[in-house]
Amino acid sequence: MKFSNIIGHEDIKPSLEKYMEGHYLFYGPPCGKRSVAFELAKYVLCQGTKEDGCLCKSCFVFNQGHADFLCIGRSGKILIDDINILIDFVSRAPLFSKTKAIVIDNVDVISIEAANRLLKILEESFYTFILVTANINLVLSTIKSRCIKVKFNALNQEMTTNVLWKKLGYDLPQARVLGWLGTGSSVNVFSNAGQYLKYRDASVEFVSLLAARDFLSVLDYVAKIEQDDLPFFLDMLILILTDLLLFKNSLEAVVYSDRREDLQKALEKFNDKAVLLLINNLMQIKRHLKLNINVGTALKTSLMKIWPVLK
């Protein structure tokens, strides 16, 4: 069956299996849209059975750098230089396949000049373009009107975990943490997995310092985290504190399942009131992130306020 290796998105697969020539716009929350776009591109370029497991030359080389496939927009705003690369790509004849496929990720952050040139390419090209966005409202209406729109819905926790584990290669404990973090939130765990996992063990160490009531070391720890990384650290800290509450109340559904021993050691040092207060303070800091506050200072101030309760 075509696209059977896509985890979840059962409501999307029928429309992909009825592929029509043209341009596509994938939109919706962070849920692996780019991965699905790659699968559709692979299908478009296939010169064999058009089924999963096809061994044609095109399918064989797809993950190794396919001469007829291009992806732009994965890192930052799409500028004129990116469009120039695209123009050069579409101007040359296909090498392996009978056609070409182009994925444009984060098409909502394209510059106006680049968007206007992209519009002209979409109007004139017979190749398949798959545009990807998390915010369709920011995509120019003229671009949207030239695409077949496919809406993606958020994956549930199990599916998100499985994508991270089985498709992206994270180990199961890491995938569980990221799966929980990315479910029902605006957190893009697929793009930011590295940053979050960087602070997975750090959050455990930080909670251990809190449990030891080593206030100076706690403040020093916060000061050593780079300002840009503090939002990731906050999310991981909220996650482990939530785990602490679950574990304290004998609930087994903890996310840090491989760190139960560390949770057990910290358990005796906290009361529910202190943990809930700290979580609420951290959530308040998160809500104010868009106001360009100094996260490090806000976190230190919050810790000072609740320290008497922690003690």
Q: What is the pLDDT of residues 88-119, one digit of tens each?
A: 999 999 988 999 999 999 999 888 889 899 99
Domains parsed from the chain with CATH numbers? 13-153 (3.40.50.300), 199-310 (1.20.272)
With cut-offs at 50, 70 and 90, classify the pLDDT of residue 295. Answer: confident
Looking at residue 305, its pLDDT comes to: 78
Looking at residue 40, its pLDDT comes to: 92
Looking at residue 209, its pLDDT comes to: 84
Looking at residue 17, its pLDDT comes to: 78
Higher-confidence residue of 192 and 84: namely 84
Q: What is the pLDDT of residues 247-287, one digit of tens each?
A: 766 555 556 666 777 777 776 777 777 788 888 888 888 77
Say if residues 131 and 147 touch (Cβ distance below 8 Å). Answer: yes
Looking at the predicted structure, is the pLDDT value of residue 1 above 50? Answer: no
Looking at the predicted structure, is the pLDDT value of residue 29 above 50? Answer: yes
Lowest mean pLDDT across 151-160, 197-206, 243-252: 243-252
Looking at residue 159, its pLDDT comes to: 83
> Per-residue b/e over 207-241, b at no fewer than 16 CB within 10 Å?
bebbbeeeeeebeebbeebeeeebbbbbbbbbbbb
Using a cut of 0.75, tell me whether the model's pTM lies above it: no
Higher-confidence residue of 32 and 89: namely 89
Q: What is the pLDDT of residues 215-237, one digit of tens each?
A: 888 888 888 888 778 888 888 88
Lowest mean pLDDT across 238-242, 273-277, 280-284, 305-309: 305-309
